[in-house]
């Protein structure tokens, strides 16, 4: 029996997220990893009484269904897990054999683990993997992240769905994802499976995505996605605040198409017919724009006082999103683990092929935009907001020459040296000088230490904020001290930064491990540091 055939028999299950266990006579120990993984990632079905053999499935059934069900539920309600794990359960009889299915929802109190914190698992593709320390730390930082829009919106019902939007969404799914199982469901089952509707009420995600504007505004009074077209390279240069401003639309589904319509002329577009006879946009620039737009809508904090905003300047497009990232951008770009702020909204975009299965899409945006016009996106990331800039034109005014950048930073170097001569130095002033002269700093590294500008940009990013998040302020200060004095000792650096020599040694190690510095000569006397970015 194939997975498709199995799911056809278990027609109440959502096929993308499920795990099978034999569990003939007792609850299998390996199921606790899956419970943790589903709770920490995006939920899923755990099915007892089925054996997986390669790509096939054999229904074996369980011998004592009532006892296994009670043992499983009692464990979840006991002290084995650090938080209470709620479930929805279903019992099936197939060919005379009993199969138990338990739906494990994503938890609002992540991380979810059993026995000890070391037993924290996450779901990647179809496997349970033990979470790393930085992933566990992220759960603690963002315990409310990724769950709020999955809650039910009070006093809502199916009547609050915009009929036209729902029809257009289903038509779009049938056209661009024709093989997905949702296409065959009637309307009520369709809405329930996608969790637009749950127990007669709309989820916040369902309301935002397909709801009527009047109802949305009862829960989100300032609901809108702003799009401004500005005649200038900046607000200060423009003769007016904007030449065009997008009006109000029903919901996120409508806003996506209206925003995309205004963004589309900003890039060159080529067309080619698909095998189904539909027009397919091929421009890498258009792909990057689409990814940035969907990324903004999927990961916005809709409960924040600010709202998502797109500003189209004459030389760049700026996507502003309320809500910070769950992890540093370098980790999100390097890994395929997706931690969406709004999992259900993400899924609604994913099911119509407007979003990928994993990640934040930064790598795809960057690759497509570089192919389009050979420029790199710029990021401005703070605790409660994310800004992405895509430059549509390279203007002379915005591209400094190497000589100018180097001259600008030469002046800043003197100020930095004066500040760092104090013991301890005013670190806030030092970091401000670095931030204000960051382009010159990167050019200085390239020119003075023989590193390619591309390698420097890849490691240090486009803003000083990236460098600070990657290393920490004290490590960045140490890097500056090495630039000024390649023979500096841990004891000398400790006096300037105001920390212990042992801490300085940790900072040295961090820079060495990242391939930024290298020790030449004696490790104690007579040796020196070089800037060597590998």
Cis check for the bond before 111: say yes or no (omega within 30 of 0): yes
Nearest residue to 128 via CA among 49, 203, 39: 39
In a domain, residue 43? The reply is yes
Together in a domain, 449 and 343:
no
So what's the pLDDT on residue 136? Answer: 79
So what's the pLDDT on residue 309? Answer: 93
Residues of the chain above pLDDT 70, percent? 79
Nearest residue to 68 via CA among 113, 101, 105: 101
Together in a domain, 417 and 294:
no
Together in a domain, 253 and 369:
yes
Both tokens assigned to 264: 């589309």
Interatomic CA distance for residues 462 and 447, integer angstroms: 17
Residue range 203-215: mean pLDDT, rounded: 96
In a domain, residue 386? The reply is yes
**pLDDT tens per residue across span 478-493:** 888 888 788 888 888 8
Asked which of 40-44, 81-85, 420-424 is least confident by mean pLDDT, the reply is 420-424
pLDDT grade, residue 474 (50/70/90)? confident
Please say which residue of 84, 116, 143 terminates a domain: 143
**CATH, residue 46:** 3.30.950.30
In a domain, residue 463? The reply is yes
**pLDDT tens per residue across span 18-66:** 888 988 889 999 899 999 999 987 788 899 998 887 767 888 999 989 9
Together in a domain, 66 and 102:
yes
In a domain, residue 64? The reply is yes
Which range has the top average pLDDT, 138-142, 397-401, 489-493, 523-527? 489-493
Together in a domain, 56 and 26:
yes
**pLDDT tens per residue across span 490-507:** 888 888 888 888 888 888
Q: CB–CB of 495/424 below 8 Å?
A: yes
pLDDT at 400 over 50: no
In a domain, residue 459? The reply is yes
Which range has the top average pLDDT, 15-24, 143-152, 164-173? 164-173
pTM of the entire predicted model: 0.53
Please say which residue of 126, 143, 160 terminates a domain: 143
So what's the pLDDT on residue 161? Answer: 98
CB atoms within 10 A of CB 111: 23
**pLDDT tens per residue across span 272-298:** 545 544 455 568 888 899 999 998 998
CB atoms within 10 A of CB 103: 19
DSSP structure class, residue 351: T
pLDDT at 358 over 60: no
DSSP structure class, residue 152: B
Residues of the chain above pLDDT 90, percent? 32
Together in a domain, 8 and 92:
yes
Together in a domain, 42 and 136:
yes
Helix residue ranges, H only, 472-520: 473-484, 490-497, 501-513
Quote the mean pLDDT of the chain.
81
Of 105 and 17, the structure prediction assigns the larger pLDDT to 105
Helix (H, G, I), strand (E, B) or coil at 263: helix
**pLDDT tens per residue across span 288-324:** 999 999 989 988 888 877 789 999 999 999 999 887 6
**CATH, residue 286:** 3.30.565.60
Bin 521: left if φ > 0, else alpha if -120 < ψ < 50, else beta: left
In a domain, residue 204? The reply is no
Please say which residue of 98, 126, 143 terminates a domain: 143
**pLDDT tens per residue across span 434-469:** 777 777 777 777 766 666 666 676 677 777 777 777
So what's the pLDDT on residue 239? Answer: 75
pLDDT at 357 over 70: no
Quick one: angle between helices 438-449 and 402-420, nearest 10? 100
Domain range holding 452?
402-531
Q: In what order do the strands lie in the sheet with 97-104?
A: 18-21, 44-48, 97-104, 88-94
Together in a domain, 231 and 338:
yes
In a domain, residue 151? The reply is no
Together in a domain, 312 and 230:
yes
So what's the pLDDT on residue 267? Answer: 85
In a domain, residue 161? The reply is no
The 3 state secondary structure assigned to 400-427 is CCHHHHHHHHHHHHHHHHHHHCCCCCCH
**pLDDT tens per residue across span 244-266:** 999 999 999 999 999 999 999 88
Together in a domain, 265 and 370:
yes
**CATH, residue 521:** 1.10.10
Together in a domain, 373 and 418:
no
pLDDT at 195 over 90: yes
- If one counts the domains in the chain, the total is 3
Quick one: angle between helices 473-484 and 501-513, nearest 10? 80
User: Is 204 exposed, middle or buried, given 0-12, 13-18 or 19+ CB atoms closer than 10 A?
Assistant: buried
Q: Is the torsion defined by CA of 350, 387, 150, 82 positive or negative?
A: positive
Together in a domain, 449 and 487:
yes
pLDDT grade, residue 381 (50/70/90)? confident
Burial track 392-405 (b if 16+ CB lie within 10 A, e otherwise): beeeeeeeeeeeeb
């Amino acid at each position: 029996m194939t997975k498709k055939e199995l799911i056809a028999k278990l027609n109440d299950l959502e096929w993308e997220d499920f795990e099978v266990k034999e569990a003939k006579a007792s609850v299998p120990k390996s199921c606790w990893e899956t419970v943790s993984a589903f709770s920490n990632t995006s939920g899923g079905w755990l099915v007892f009484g089925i054996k997986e053999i390669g790509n096939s499935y054999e229904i074996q059934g369980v011998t004592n269904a009532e006892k296994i069900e009670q043992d499983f539920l009692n464990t979840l309600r006991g002290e084995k897990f650090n938080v209470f794990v709620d479930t929805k359960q279903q019992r099936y009889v197939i060919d005379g054999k009993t199969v138990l299915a338990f739906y494990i929802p994503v938890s609002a109190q992540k991380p979810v683990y059993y026995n000890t914190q070391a037993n924290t698992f996450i779901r990647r593709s179809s496997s349970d993997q033990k979470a790393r320390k930085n992933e566990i730390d992220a759960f603690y930082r963002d315990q409310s992240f990724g769950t709020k829009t999955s809650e039910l919106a009070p006093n809502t019902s199916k009547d609050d769905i915009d009929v036209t939007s729902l029809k257009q969404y289903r038509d779009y799914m049938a056209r661009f994802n024709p093989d997905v199982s949702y296409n065959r469901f009637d309307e009520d089952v369709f809405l329930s499976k996608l969790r637009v509707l749950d127990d007669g009420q709309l989820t916040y995600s369902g309301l935002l995505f397909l709801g009527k504007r009047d109802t949305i505004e009862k829960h989100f009074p300032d609901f809108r996605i702003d799009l401004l077209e500005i005649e200038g390279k900046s607000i200060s240069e423009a003769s007016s605040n904007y030449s065009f401003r997008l009006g109000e639309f029903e919901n996120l589904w409508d806003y996506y198409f209206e925003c995309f319509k205004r963004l589309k002329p900003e890039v060159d577009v080529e067309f080619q017919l698909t095998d189904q006879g539909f027009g397919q946009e091929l421009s890498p620039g258009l792909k990057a724009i689409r990814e940035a737009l969907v990324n903004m809508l999927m990961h916005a904090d809709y409960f924040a006082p600010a709202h998502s905003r797109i500003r189209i300047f004459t030389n760049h497009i700026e996507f502003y999103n309320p809500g910070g990232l769950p992890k540093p951008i370098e980790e999100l770009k390097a890994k395929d683990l997706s931690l969406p702020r709004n999992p259900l909204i993400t899924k609604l975009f994913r099911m119509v092929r407007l979003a990928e299965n994993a990640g934040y899409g930064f790598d795809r945006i960057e690759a497509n935009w570089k192919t389009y016009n050979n420029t790199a996106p710029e990021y401005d990331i703070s605790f409660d907001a994310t800004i992405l800039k895509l430059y549509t034109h390279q203007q002379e005014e915005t591209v400094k020459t190497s000589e100018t950048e180097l001259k600008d930073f030469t002046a800043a170097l003197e100020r930095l040296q004066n500040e760092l001569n104090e013991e301890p130095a005013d670190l806030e002033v030092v970091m401000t000088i670095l931030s204000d002269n960051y382009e010159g700093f990167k050019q200085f590294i390239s020119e003075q230490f023989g590193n390619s500008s591309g390698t420097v940009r890849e490691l240090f990013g486009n803003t000083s904020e990236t460098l600070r998040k990657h290393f920490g302020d004290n490590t960045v200060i140490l890097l500056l001290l090495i630039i000024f004095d390649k023979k500096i000792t841990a004891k000398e650096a400790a006096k300037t930064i105001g920390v212990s020599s042992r801490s300085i040694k940790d900072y040295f190690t961090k820079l060495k491990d990242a391939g930024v510095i290298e020790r030449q000569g004696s490790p104690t006397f007579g040796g020196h540091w070089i800037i060597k970015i590998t």
